[in-house]
Structure 1
Amino acid sequence: MKVYKWIDKFNTKNNRKIITKYNLGISSGHKSAYFYLNPKFYLKYLLRLLLVLLSAITFHKKSYQTFYKLVSEKYSPFYLAKGFNFVQNKFFDILSTLFGYRYFISEAILPLLPEDKILIKQISFIANNNPLVSIVIPVFNNLAYTYNCLLALSNNVPPSLSYEVIIVDDCSSDATETFFRSNSRGINYIRNDINSGFLISSNIGADKALGKYVCFLNNDTQVSINWLQNLLLPFTDEHVGLVGSKLIYANGFLQEAGGFVFSDANAANYGNNHDPEHPLYNFIREVDYCSGASILIKNTDLQKLNYFDRRYIPAYYEDTDLCLSVKHVLNKKVIYQPLSELIHFEGISSGRDIEKHPVKRFQAINKDKFAQKWRNHLVNYPQLNDISSALAINQKNKTILIIDDTIPEADKDSGSVRLVHIIEILISLNYHVIFVPNDGLKKNGYFEKLTNIGVEVLYRFPNRNSMINLLLNKLDLIDVAWICKPQNNKEFEFLFSYNSKMKWIYDTIDLHFVREEREAALLNDAKIKQSASETKEQELAFAKAADITIAITTDEKEILQHYGIKKTVVIPNIHIAQENKHFVPFEERSGLIFIGGYAHKPNIDAVIYLSNEIMPLVWLKNPTIKLTLLGSNPSKEVMDLASEKIEVTGYVEDVSGYFNNSRVFVAPLRFGAGMKGKIGQSLSFALPIVTSEIGAEGIGLVQGRDYLLAATADEFASHILRLYEDKTLWNDISNASKELIKSYHPDRIKPVINSILS
C-alpha cells in the first residue's frame, strides 16, 4: 500500500535525524545518560510516535513484526543479561524502539545471553592444520559478546573456505575460560599467563597463526554473510597488502568506511555516523588505514613488519601504524572493502582495566608516538580534517564515467558481457570507473560483481535526484564520459555543460535505426518505419556531437561514415574461449539450442519462427531431435512454445552444460543490428552454428568454414540435419570456431580502447 511507503519514508528520514543528532551530541561531549531527554529531540519524538500510531491504525505488518520480535525475545542485543534485569532491559529496548533509536538495527543482530545460558551451549569449528585464513580474536571478559562473535562466524563463514579460529584470552575473570575449556571444539584457545593488553594478545595469536592470511577480528563484532570471502577478493591484485571491512554500529549507522591520516597525525574514520548504504561508502578504494576491528593481511607480510608495533602498548594507533607500514615499508595498498560488513559494538574488546589505563590518555600518548615515528611521511598528508584532499590524494588515476540503462547482467545478455569486459579493460589501464545505471537500481548480485572489480556505482539513494546531484559533485574529477545507447545520451547530454573538458564517447551498442528499419521491412509496418526515421535522426546527431563514436561492427562503422561521422572506432563484442579439458565429442551430444534475452524483440521473433516453421521440417526427417530455448525473461508467447520436444528454460545461471552437450546452435534471426552476442558465445564453446545473414553479420564468419548460412525455413532445416549427422563437417566447423573466437579476446581489444582514450 502507498500509505506504508509513505510511513516508511518519513520514519527513515525522521529516525535518521534523531540518531544523527544524538550521536553528534555524544561525540561533542554530552556524556550524560539522559542526553536523549534534551528538548531539542521533542518534536522529532512526537513525529515518531505519530508515525508509530499511524502504523498501528493501518496494520502496517513491518511495524507489528518489529515490536513482536522485541516482546517475544527475552534477551536484548544491547544490554547484558544479569540476574533478573531482563525486564528492565526489555523496557529500555521498547522505549528505544518507540522513539526511533532501534529503527536501523540489523535483523541478524544476536541477543546477549547470560553466562549460565551460554555455558549450556556448544560452539564448534572444523580444526584445520593448513588453513587459508587464521582468524585471531583477542578477548577480555564479555563472554556474551565473544559467544555472539563466534556464532556469527559459524553462521556466515562456510567451513569450505578453510580457516582456523584462534582465541587469545587476556586473563578474563568471567566464565570465558570455562566456556572454551568445556564448550568449544576446533578452536585454538590460548590463555595469557598475565594480563597483557589488546596489542600483545593480538601478536600472540598472530604468532600462532598457520594460515596464508591473518585476520584480526574484535570479539565485539558480528560478521555478515560473505564477510571473509569479500575480504579475500582484493588480494587477487599482488600490490594489495591489507584489506579492511565496513564497520557498522549496532544502531545501524556507519562507524567507518576506511580512514585517513592528516599532517598533524590525527586520524579520521571516513563516513562516521552516516548511512552505510550511501554510494559514497560502497566502492572499493585505497585508504590510509582500516580499523583493526576487522583487517586481513598476508602472514608473510605481517611477519616482515614484526606484527603490531609494541610501542603502542596496550593499544590505540597500533592498527593505523600497521597500515602505514604496509603502505610505506612494503609499498603495498591498504584497501577498504565495503562488501565485507560487520556490526561493531565499539569499546567492548579485549584490553587492560579501563580505570587503570584511561582511553583518552593512551590515545594522546600513542598519537604522539605515531607522529614521531611517521613525521617524515606525514608532511605529504592533507591538512587537518580535509577529507576531500585525502580522497583526492588516494584517487590518483584518471576517472571515466560509464552510463547505461542498468547495471550489467553478464549472465543474461550479450551487451552486458561486452560492457563488463570493457570495464575490466579500463581498470587494467588504471582508470577509476564510475558507473551510473539510468534506472538507478542497485541490483543485488550484479552490483557486488561490479564493486569487486573496483567500480564505483552511483545508484538511487535515497532517490534519483540525489543520485544525479552526487554525480554532479564528482563531475570535475571525470576525464571521460562513455555513454551507451541513444536514450542515455539524450538524458545525460546536459553533463557536458557542467564539464566541457570531458571527452564524450558515444557507444552505439548497435545502430538502433538499422534494427528498426529491418523490422519495419519484415513486418511492412509504417509505424515502425517512422520510429526508425526518428531514431536515425537522433543517433546521427549524437554521433556528430560526440568526440568519438563507437560502432560494434565494421559494417556499422561504414554506415556512420557514409553519413559524415568520421571519428568512429569499432569495439566489437568481447569473448573468451571456454577452457574445456574434457570437450564432449560429436557422438555424445544431442539436441539443438538457442539463447537470447526475450526482452529483445528479434529473439522472440526468431524462436517463434524456429519452433513453428523450421522445427516441423526437421522433425519430418528426425523426430528425436529436441530443441532447448535458453534465455531470461521469456514472454508468454515464448513460454507457449514449450512442448515434449521444446524446452523453455527461462533464466539459467550457468548455461555451459547446455552448450557443452548440445550438437547444434541455431539462430534464425530475421531482423536486428550489430554483432550478435549469442553467436560469439556459441563460438566460445566451439559449438557449430546455423544462422541467418543477420545473425552472422559483423563477426567475420566464413560460410562453410565457421558456420552454415540459411535464409529460408527449408534451408535452415536442411543445414541443421546435415550438421547434426555429419561428424566430419561438425568437427571442422568446431575447430574453426576455436580459431575465430581468438580475435575477440580482451587482449585484442585492449589496444583499441587504449588508443581512443589516449
Structure 2
Amino acid sequence: MRKILGWTLTGQLPAQLRQRRGAIQARWEFMEASLLLRLGLRRALRHQLGLPPAVTTPDPATISLPTSETPLLSVIIPTYGQVPHTLRCLATLASHPPSRPYEVLVVDDASGDPHVPELRQVRGIRLTERSKNLGFLRSCNAAAAEARGDYIFLLNNDTEVMPGALDALLDTFASHRQAGLVGARLLYPDGWLQEAGGIIWNDGSAWNYGNRDDPRKPQYSYLREADYISGAAIMIPTSLWRELGGFDEHYLPAYCEDSDLAFRLRAAGRTVLYQPEATIIHDEGVSHGTDTSKGIKAYQLSNSEKLRQRWAETFARDHLPVGQRVMRARDRAPRRRITLVIDNNVPERDRDAGSRTMVAFMEALIASGRVVKFWPLNGLALPGYTRELQQKGIEVLYGPWSGRFPRWIAANGAEIDEVLVSRPHVAAGTLALLRQHTEAAIVFYGHDLHHARFQRELEATGNASLQAEATRLLAEERRAWLDADLSLYPSEEEARAVRELEPGARVRAIVPYALPELDRPDPVPEGRQDLLFVAGFGHSPNEDAALWLARDILPAILAAQPATRLTLAGSNPTPAVQALASRNIEVTGFVSDEELARRYASARVIVCPLRYGAGVKMKVVEALHQGVPLVTTTVGAQGLDGLDQTVDVVDRADDFAAAVLRLLTDDREWKLRSEAEARFIRGRFSAQAMETELSCAFEQAAQFSRRKATQAQSRTPIPRA
C-alpha cells in the first residue's frame, strides 16, 4: 500500500469522501484529488500535468541534437550501460532542448555493455567510452573537466527532459545572482512527485521533500532555497564547480556527494535553489537499484554517516528536529521570519495600483530576509500573475490543494510570525481567525480611506444612495483599525484622518510604491503632442474623470490646439468610456508595461482629472517618475505634500484646460516642470525606503502585540493549587 495525499490507497476512497461522492455541495478542493484516487491514477496524473507521453526506446539513428561548438551549457550524462534508458533520455533532450547553445557529453564508465557503441549513431553528442571504471563520482568530475560551456548540467541517463526545463534552470541563474546550484523538480514516470528539493534534519537524516505527493500543490510550486537537490538533474556554473573541485572524493564511489556539494556552496556564500518550472522525469533506482545492502547502493549508508560527521555542527545549528516544523524546514527558515500576506486575489501588477503596491510590499519583505506566504481570499490562481509571485519565492496558497482559510490557518498559524492584511473587507473576513490561531503581529494596509472615497463620490455626483455604503465602510474600517496591531496608509494625511476618527487606533504612513531608477536621458518636449490619462477605468473615480475630461475640459483644448489627441490607457474601460473613442480620443484598454512606457515616451502632458477618490494615486506618482509634466486636481494630489509647488493642481474645468494648453505650447515651461518633478520624486518612492519602513512597521506592531499579551497575562487570575 502507498500513502497518497495523506490517505492509504487501497482501491477505494476514504469513508468521508465516499459519502460525499456525487453530492453537488461537495467541497471543491477535494474534487480533483478524489477523482484521481478513483481512477487509480498512474497515467491520469501525468496526463493532467500536461506532460508528454513516455517515449519508447528510439532508433539511435533517428536522434539528432542541434549542439554547438561554442556552448553556453554543457549537459553531462554519466552512464554505466543501460543504453535504452540513455536513448530515451537523449530523445527527450532532442525534443525539448534549451534555447541557448549547448553541448551533450555522454560518458560510459567502462560498463562493458556491447550496445554502448550504438550511441555513436546519435548525432550531436560527444561520446566517451572509458577503458577503466572510475566510479560515478570520479566519472562526473572527469567529464566536467572536458565541459566547454559556462554552465554544467549533470543529468542521470534514467531521466526524461520535459519542455522548458533547461531554460528554466538557466533563467534562474540570470535572475538570482547568488545562486550557486539550481535543481529540477523530479517526478516519477507516473507523474507523482519524487522530490521538490531535499530537507536535511539536525541528526543528518534526509527527506526527498514531497515524495509520492501531487506535484501541483502550492508547497511544491514556488522557487525556494533547499538544503540539497538530488544530483539526477542539477545545474551549476562551470567556474564555480571547478573552484570547489567538483564532487568531493571523500564520498567515493557515489552517494551524498550532491548533498555535500550543496553545503560547500552555502559555505562559500552561494544559494542552492529548487526550480519547480524545470521538470525532469526520473526512473529512480535504475542506475544502482534500491537495495542498500549490496553493490554501489551499499555506499549510501556509509556516506550518509560521512556527511553527518562532516557537517554535524551545521546540522545542529541550522537544522530542525526530524519531521518537525516542516514549513520552516523546507524554506530553510528555522530563524527567519515567516510573513503571511492576505488580499482578496492574486495581484495583477500591471492592471491596478493596489496590486502594484502589494507586489512591491512582498518584494520588500523578501529583500529584508523574510519568507513570504500569500493567501488570495478568493482561492484562485491567476495565470501568469501567480507564476510571477512563485518565481519571486512566494508560496501562493490557492485551491483546490490549500483548502479553506480557516483550516489552513488552524494547521499553520503557529509558524506565522507576521501578517499583512490588505483591504477592509479582507480584514473583516480574517482577523478573528488570525487572533484565534496565531500570535503573529498583524498589520492592516487600507490602500485608501474607502469610506471617504464614497463620501467624495456622493458630493461630486449627488448620488444619495452612496451614503449607506460610506457608513458601512467606515464601520468596517474602524473594526480593522482597532483589531490590528498597526494600520498603514499611503500618506500622513490619511493617517491623521484615521487618528481623528478613531483616537485609539495605531496608524502610520508607509511608502506605497517602489519605483526603479530610470536609466534614460532627461525627457524633452520636442516631438511630443498628445495627452495621456492612465487608469483602470472599471474603478468609478477613473470613469468619472474620463467623462469629465472628455466632456468639460477637452473641447477648450481642441479649440486652441485642434491636432491634440487624448489617449485613455488602462484596463476595463466601461461602456461609457469606450463610447468616448473618436478622432481625437483613443481608448486602448489594457496595455502592457512595454506599451505603457512607449506611451509615456511620446506624451506631451499627463492628465489626472480626478474629482473624487482617496489615497496617493499611482497614476500621479508614475507620471512624476517618468518626468512628463502633469496636470491634476486636489484629489489627484492627495497625500503628496508640496506637490502643488511642482505641478498644476486645479479643480475647475477651464483652469485645467488652460494649464494643459500652457504645457502644450511653452517648451521652456515644459522643461522646468519636468525637472521639478524629477526633484520632487527622487528618493521618495524607492525600494529601499519601502523595505525600511515596512520592517519598522512590523517591529512596531510586534512591540504592541507583545505588550498586549503581557497585559492580558497580568490580568489572568492565578489558578488555585
CA pair 169-619 structure 1, distance change in 2 beyond 3 A: farther
| C-alpha distance in 2 between matches for 1:203 and 1:123 | 23
Q: 1:343 to 1:353 in 2, by over 3 A?
A: closer
Give the equivalent residue in structure 2 for 1:644. Answer: 583
Deviates more, 1:232-241 or 1:273-282: 232-241
Counterpart in the other structure of 2:669: 729
1:508 paired to 2:492: no
Match of 1:681 among 604, 622, 626: 622
1:123 to 44, 65, 89: 65
Separation of aligned partners in 1, 2:40 and 2:514: 55
**Aligned partner letter, 2:153:** C
SS of structure 1 residue aligned to 2:688 = helix
Which of 252, 255, 258 is equivalent to 1:316? 255
The amino acid that maps onto 1:358 is G
CA distance in 2, matches of 1:213, 1:604: 52
**Structure 1 residue aligned with 2:520:** 581
Cross-structure match for 1:134: 74
CA shift at 1:561, angstroms?
1.7
Post-superposition Cα deviations, 1:298-330, rounded to whole Å, max 9, x if no partner, equal 333322332112343443222122223334x43
Contact residue 481 and residue 502 of structure 1 kept, 8 A: yes
Specify the alignment match of 1:470 in structure 2: 408
Check the 8 A contact 1:553/1:675 in 2, yes or no.
Answer: yes
Q: Shift of residue 379 of structure 1?
A: 5.1
Aligned-partner residue type, residue 55 of structure 2: L
Aligned equivalents of 1:23 and 1:754: distance in 2? 41
Per-residue deviation, 1:431: 1.9
CA contact (8 A) 2:184 2:274 kept: yes
Query: Which residue does the alignment assign to 1:716?
Result: 656
Amino acid at match of 1:652: V
How far the C-alpha of 1:223 sits from its partner, in A, is 3.0
In the alignment, structure 1 residue 553 sits paired with structure 2 residue 461: no
Residues 228-275 of structure 1, C-alpha deviations (whole Å, 9 max, x = no match):
435653675565433322212221211111112345543221110011
Match of 1:407 in 2: 346
Matched, 1:366 2:303: yes
CA 1:468 to 1:369, structure 2 compared with 1: closer, same or farther past 3 Å?
A: same
Contact 2:605–2:628 (CA<8 Å) still a contact in 1? yes
Closer, same or farther in 2 for the Cα pair 1:660/1:203, shift >3 Å? same
1:619-644 deviation line (CA, Å, top 9, x unaligned)? 22222222222112223332232233
416-425 vs 281-290, which moves further: 281-290
Q: Structure 2: how far apart are the matches of 1:163 and 1:488?
A: 49
- Deviation readout 1:516-549 (Å, 9 max, x if unpaired): 0011111211211121011112212321232211
Distance 1:631 1:21, change over 3 A: closer
Instruction: Tell me whether 1:41 sits opposite 2:40 in the alignment.
Output: no
**Is the partner of 2:52 in helix, strand or coil?**
coil
The 5 A counterparts of 1:188-227 are: 188-219=126-157, 220-225=159-164, 227=166
- CA drift of 1:599 comes to 2.8
1:277-307 deviations in Å (ceiling 9; x for gaps): 2122233333321111122233333223321
The question of whether the paired residues in 1 share the 8 Å contact of 2:54 and 2:189 is answered with: no
Structure 1 residue matching 2:420: 3-state secondary structure = strand
**Structure 1 324/520 Cα, relative in aligned 2: closer, same or farther at 3 Å?**
same
Once the two structures are TM-superposed, the CA of residue 374 in structure 1 deviates from its matched residue by 4.2
Query: Residue 419 of structure 1 aligns to a residue in which SS?
Result: helix
> How far apart are the structure 1 equivalents of 2:638 and 2:39?
64
Answer whether contact 1:665 1:682 (CA < 8 A) is retained: yes
Report matched runs for 1:44-63 at 5 Å: none
Output the amino acid matched with 1:335: L
Tell me, yes or no, if structure 1 residue 242 matches structure 2 residue 212: no
2:4 match: 20
Change (3 A) 1:390 1:540: closer
Q: Deviations over 1:21-42 (max 9, x none)?
A: 99988xxxxxxxxxxxxxx437
Contact 1:485/1:508, CA 8 A, preserved across alignment: yes
Aligned match for 1:279, one of 206, 214, 218: 218
Alignment RMSD (CA, Å): 3.4
Partner of 2:430: 492
Q: Does 1:479 align with 2:420?
A: no
1:447 counterpart (386, 390, 402): 386
1:610 equivalent to 2:553? Answer: no
Question: What's the TM-score once normalised by structure 1's chain length?
Answer: 0.80
Conserved 8 A contact 1:549-1:569: yes
TM-score between both structures, scaled by the size of structure 2: 0.84
Identity %: 30
CA distance in 2, matches of 1:155, 1:738: 51
Deviation at 1:612, TM superposition (A): 3.2
Is contact 2:320–2:329 with CA below 8 Å preserved after alignment?
Answer: yes
> SS where residue 434 of structure 1 aligns?
strand
SS at match of 1:494: helix
Q: State the Cα distance separating 1:559 from its structure 2 match.
A: 1.0
Number of corresponding residues: 672
User: How far is 1:386 from its partner?
Assistant: 4.7
Paired position in structure 2 for 1:268 = 207
Structure 1 residues 19, 107: closer, same or farther in 2, change over 3 A?
Answer: farther
CA 1:390–1:575: 2 relative to 1, 3 Å: closer
Measured after TM superposition, the shift of residue 444 of structure 1 is 2.3
The 8 Å contact of residues 218 and 401 in structure 2, kept in 1 or not, is answered as no
Instruction: Tell me the equivalent position of 1:397.
Output: 336
Match for residue 43 of structure 2? 102
- Given the superposition, is the C-alpha separation of residues 21 and 420 from structure 1 closer, same or farther in structure 2, using an over 3 Å criterion? closer
Distance in 1 between the 2:403 and 2:38 partners?
29
Cα drift, residue 571 of structure 1 = 1.0
Closer/same/farther in 2, CA of residues 392 and 593 from structure 1, 3 Å limit: closer
- How many Å apart are 1:731 and its aligned residue? 1.0
Alignment partner of 1:493: what SS?
helix
The question of whether the paired residues in 1 share the 8 Å contact of 2:336 and 2:371 is answered with yes
Residue identity in the other structure for 2:4: T
1:524 is aligned to 462
Task: Please name the residue that 2:609 is paired with.
Answer: 668
Answer yes or no: is the 8 Å Cα contact 2:80–2:109 preserved in 1: yes
Kept in 2, the 8 Å contact 1:514–1:673? The answer is: yes
Match of 2:647 in 1: 707
SS at match of 1:119: helix
Deviation at 1:125, TM superposition (A): 2.7
Tell me the equivalent position of 1:749.
690
Q: Distance in 2 between matches of 1:533 and 1:24?
A: 53
Question: What is the distance in 2 between the residues matched to 1:386 and 1:750?
Answer: 31
CA distance in 1, matches of 2:624, 2:477: 30
Could you tell me how far 1:375 is from its partner in structure 2? 4.9
Decide which of 452, 472, 481 is 1:534's aligned counterpart: 472
CA distances 1:736-757 after superposition (whole Å, capped 9, x unpaired): 1212121222223333222222
- What amino acid sits opposite 1:691 in the alignment? T
Q: Compare 237-246 and 684-693 and name the one that shifted more.
A: 237-246
Q: Is the contact made by 1:577 and 1:684 (CA closer than 8 Å) also made in structure 2? A: no
SS in 1 for 2:236: strand
Amino acid of the structure 2 residue aligned with 1:279: P
Contact 2:168 / 2:277 at 8 angstroms: preserved in 1?
no
CA distance in 2, matches of 1:257, 1:518: 51
1:417 partnered with 2:359? no
- Mapped to 1, the partners of 2:514 and 2:262 lie a distance apart of 39
8 A contact 1:136–1:205 mirrored in 2: yes
CA contact (8 A) 2:523 2:627 kept: no
Whether the 8 Å contact between 1:224 and 1:342 is mirrored in structure 2 is no
Q: Which residue does 1:597 correspond to in 2?
A: 536
Equivalent position to 1:431, from 370, 385, 389: 370
Contact 1:259 1:268 (8 Å CA) reproduced: yes
Q: Distance in 1 between matches of 2:575 and 2:663?
A: 31
Rate the CA distance shift 1:608–1:493 in 2: closer, same or farther, 3 A.
same
Give me the whole-angstrom Cα distance separating, in 2, the residues matched to 1:153 and 1:589.
50
Which residue identity is paired with 1:658? R
Q: 1:222, 1:651 → 2: CA distance?
A: 36
Post-superposition offset of 1:20: 3.2
**Unpaired runs of at least 5, structure 1:** 1-16, 26-39, 52-61, 63-95
